[in-house]
Amino acid sequence: MRHETIDVFRSFHAAYEVFEMPAQVMQSISLKRLFLDLATVFDGNLEIEKIASQELSAKSMLAQGVSEPRAISEDIAVVMRSDKAHPICADVLNMPLNWAPPETSKSELYKKHSHFKAHVELLGPDGLVKSDIVRLGLYGMLPNSEYGIRTHPAEEIYIMLAGMCFWRRGDEGYQSAGVGDRSHHASFLPHATLTKEEAFMSVYAWVGDLSTERYSYNGLPT
């Protein structure tokens, strides 16, 4: 049923292209389709994925176009165009979105370690569509970057869409993650992210306490 709904949106999108609908209307239709497609990415057995998928589907009709889009870095776009990337990356690249480093913390150290990040919150308290159930969006990093150890009350999952990165969870060392791999973080589990020669793109979700007030950034691992 979910795939049938996505096909309907794609047919609707193609039909409107013929009539040259206003750009803002076209963006809204494309964003609705993106929400539904992302809902199918969260297809794992964890409850957090089920919640994310359900909320994307439920809120898809509320999605609106972005008035002032900002382009993504070419280093990240390259891995998203790769044959190895998840097919949804093509839709993401064609979508006008306001890519920018996240603003999860106001600390100077956090800001210093954020210039290499690309982020869009799609659903959540600060998202394109408001939600008090999930904080969900797209997140990537440039090559040769490290986003250090952080903790937060929300349970979190990342699903890799393109490229390669390395995740550190708790006391473990860094472990590689490629397209389709997941990194799941329980509430307050310390975790960090590293890239080497390749950039990456992912979709993430938070559930539980969505506030950033108790988010803590502790810098690079020693």
Each residue's pLDDT tens digit, 1-10: 545 544 545 5
Q: Tell me if the pTM is above 0.85.
A: yes
Query: What is the per-residue DSSP string for 135-178?
Result: EEEEEEE-SS-EEEEEE-SSEEEEEEEEE-EEEEETT---EEE-
Q: Are 69 and 97 within 8 A, CB to CB? A: yes
Q: Are 3 and 43 within 8 A, CB to CB? A: no
Q: Partners of 150 in the beta sheet?
A: 191, 217
Higher pLDDT, 29 or 117: 117
User: In this structure, what DSSP letter does residue 106 have?
Assistant: -
Neighbours of 91 (CB within 10 A): 16
Between 22-26, 53-57, 114-118, 176-180, the lowest mean confidence (pLDDT) is in 22-26
Q: How large is the average pLDDT for residues 70-75?
A: 96
Query: What is the per-residue DSSP string for 55-80?
Result: HHHHHGGG----SS-BPPPHHHHHHH
**Residue 52: is its pLDDT beyond 90?**
yes
Convert the pLDDT of each residue in 179-214 to its tens digit. Answer: 999 999 999 999 999 999 999 999 999 999 999 999
**Residue 49: is its pLDDT beyond 60?**
yes
Q: Single out the residue of 204, 167, 205, 165 nearest to residue 75, CA to CA.
A: 165
> What was the pLDDT predicted at 68?
82
Q: Where are the alpha helices (DSSP H) in 19-132?
A: 23-41, 47-59, 74-80, 88-94, 108-112
> What was the pLDDT predicted at 4?
52
For 202, the token pair is: 């992912």
> What was the pLDDT predicted at 16?
46
Q: How large is the average pLDDT for residues 142-150?
A: 98
Q: How large is the average pLDDT for residues 97-106?
A: 96
Q: Average pLDDT of the chain?
A: 90
| Fold annotation for 2-217 | Jelly Rolls (2.60.120)
**Residue 172: is its pLDDT beyond 80?**
yes
Convert the pLDDT of each residue in 91-101 to its tens digit. Answer: 999 999 999 99
For 160, the token pair is: 């890799």
